Chains A and B, each alone.
Chain A
């Protein structure tokens, strides 16, 4: 599989401060890749290095198969980006801003500029307001316009930093659908975000950075692998606990009201269920416990808080 983004030993130092240290990213073509990290973890520095805005202290970067920042002129026309919020010339309309940006660089002919701008604006749901000056836009509208700017010229790779910032839940949903659609059409999306639920919902792979280092990089399904525990809800908790004690490996981790948290240690959930039912325990619910991305994130970034109880 070809890589849309590959870094090797990527390191950035600002004076004495090490912002990014030895980061090896691998974003496959066609991924919807979530890039996560707490504030100040080096996320933004990494994104800026990928785009050639900030120069790496050491390490290698390849974007769409070519070395950055050396091949920036050849690579960046294929990349659409939204970095730390959208930015426009406030006295011009949304359309005028997009046309101006489009005209400023290579790729994208003059003849179909108007159509492309119109299409991008429509795609993000701004068709009705494209002629108002940007200073009259709400922050959600600006965000949409920033996305439209990233979508011009059908990029092969989208590097998006918090693309749903300032959007209402409906807007977020629309953008999520839009990103999924882009990936279906063959684009790669590199999504840097704080919204863990959002990443969990739409991303196929994710990486987590903490204090400048990569602490995880895997398919989201792997990150959210079952914890090896099962939640059992039953009115017969005492009977269930007694039964569980007779099966080697099973252990009750937590017991609250009519719920038991059972540590399986190799025993399959199916077997547990059978034993319970055969033992006359009335099982109302039996759920394999999976961590949320938030649990994984907090654990890896060392900021886990133990749940009370």
Chain B
């Protein structure tokens, strides 16, 4: 079953187009920076970008920071929202279920495949960014945000943790998307539902009146991986981010399962 779903994922042109677009954005930014030589001033603009001009080592992290707030969650919402609702709207859901594929099994496999997409997307973005950063800006020993130098292999594990952290955050998005995907038969509505939740979270995160709720918002700690590039690493927000995201993942996957396992499939 997993193989079947993986095959559906990789034979779908949409998968590759969205990943190419995701990797294209940081590449475009890198080219613009290189050509104009004008970077954001330190402390302004997207994370890490001000340092990238002199040193490409940080560009994978910078690239992830570029796609993380909007682009990546949109792509993940679309894929997760399509998981069940897409099969429903195509009419193939009923044929999968009578094949028979157990409902819980189908949900788990769809989640796994969404995760494969997330990792694929994050890795392709990071790898493209590394290649682009290395060619355009060169690899230098890395000055951390705190001022000290980070050694090259040190930068490697920090980048690896960054990739994991971003993927974990996106798993939270995938869980919400999978839930909305079991609620409606329209993949568009499902993706929109997941995005609505994220946009709400991001708006509340900017609002002082919502101060009390901020630490519990799903998007609040998304960019905490920036702290990985301090010396010493500031773990507080990162661990909180992992934990909060874990709760969202559990709750929404549970809701998705409870809904889907007991639902009348009329599509």
Contact = CB atoms under 8 A, between A and B. Distances in A.
Contact of B100 (A90, A91, A105): A105
Contacts of A81: 95, 98
16 contacts: A48-B94, A48-B264, A52-B97, A53-B94, A53-B265, A55-B262, A73-B102, A76-B98, A83-B94, A84-B94, A87-B92, A87-B94, A100-B7, A100-B8, A101-B96, A103-B4
Interface string B92-129: 10111111111000000000000000000000000000
B207 interface: no
Given A89-B92, A100-B7, A83 B98 contact: yes
A128 B7 CA distance: 25
Interface residues of B, number: 24
Given A53-B264, A53-B265, A91-B11, A105 B92 contact: no
B95 A73 contact: no
B72 to A, nearest CB: 25
Contacts of A73: 100, 102
Contacts of B92: 87-89
Contacts of B13: 91
Contacts of A79: 98
Contacts of A101: 95-96, 99
Q: Chain B CB within 10 Å — which of A76, A79, A104 has the most?
A: A104
A149 B196 CA distance: 39
Contacts of B98: 51-53, 76, 79, 81, 83
A54 interface: yes
A55 B99 contact: no
A9 B188 CA distance: 39
The A contact surface, by secondary structure, is loop
A90 B12 CA distance: 11
- 5 tightest Cβ-Cβ pairs between the two chains A and B: A87-B91, A105-B99, A76-B100, A54-B264, A53-B265
Interface residues of A, number: 30
Contacts of B97: 51-53
A295 B264 CA distance: 35
Nearest to A51: B98
Interface in A88-122: 88-92, 100-101, 103-106
Interface in B6-25: 7-8, 11-13
Interface of A: 14, 48, 51-55, 72-73, 76-77, 79, 81, 83-92, 100-101, 103-106, 149
A48 B264 CA distance: 9
A66 to B, nearest CB: 13
B3 interface: yes
A19 B53 CA distance: 67
A81 B98 CA distance: 8
A73 B104 CA distance: 12
Nearest to A53: B265
Contacts of A87: 90-92, 94-95
B95 to A, nearest CB: 6
B35 interface: no
The B contact surface, by secondary structure, is loop
B266 interface: yes
Contacts of A91: 11-13
A103 B3 contact: yes
B1 interface: yes
Nearest to B265: A53
Contact of B4 (A85, A100, A106): A100
B99 A104 contact: yes
A235 B99 CA distance: 63
A82 B264 CA distance: 18
Contacts of B91: 84-87
Nearest to B5: A104
Interface in B61-114: 90-92, 94-102
B11 A52 contact: no
A126 to B, nearest CB: 17
A105 B94 contact: no
Contacts of A92: 11
Contacts of B266: 48, 53-54
A26 B99 CA distance: 23
Interface in B243-267: 262, 264-266
A90 B95 CA distance: 15
A79 B97 CA distance: 12
Q: Chain A CB within 10 Å — which of B1, B95, B102, B265 has the most?
A: B95
A54 B265 contact: yes
B90 A104 contact: no
A76 B99 CA distance: 7
A149 B11 CA distance: 21
Contacts of A52: 97-98, 100
Nearest to B262: A55
Given A51-B94, A87-B91, 6 more contacts: A48-B265, A73-B102, A79-B98, A83-B95, A101-B96, A103-B4
A106 B100 CA distance: 7
